[in-house]
Amino acid sequence: MPRTSPFIIVLTDDERNELESTSRQYTLPYYKVVRAQMILMAADGMPNDQIADRLNTRREIVSRWRKRFYDLRIKGLEELPRPGRPRGDQGEQLSFDDE
């Protein structure tokens, strides 16, 4: 018996336009493009298993992003702060000069 998600995605016109734009951009990080594609497919009524197969990922991943979008809308597709020590300054480089 196929699983069905309790999180039915209905997009506004603005959300659909933003997600379609994101899903077509080659200059964005891959994860942003894939998340947009997941939500667009979910909004078209596709089940999580089928979305996962098409995007070559796991059903649990699709389910996670579908739920986050359902709860938080577009903001839910952004990265959350990660626990632990913050990363150092990316521009900082060690100098090995003998001064």
- For 67-81, the three-class secondary structure string (H helix, E strand, C coil) is HHHHHHHHHHHCCCC
Mean pLDDT of the chain: 83
Percent of the chain with pLDDT over 70: 85
Q: How confident is the model at residue 52 (pLDDT cuts 50, 70, 90)?
A: very high
Query: 46, 36 in Cβ contact below 8 A?
Result: no
Q: How confident is the model at residue 19 (pLDDT cuts 50, 70, 90)?
A: very high
pTM of this structure = 0.75
CA–centroid distance for 86 within its chain: 22
Percent of the chain with pLDDT over 90: 40
Least confident range from 23-27, 62-66, 70-74, 90-94: namely: 90-94
Query: In this model, does residue 89 exceed pLDDT 80?
Result: no
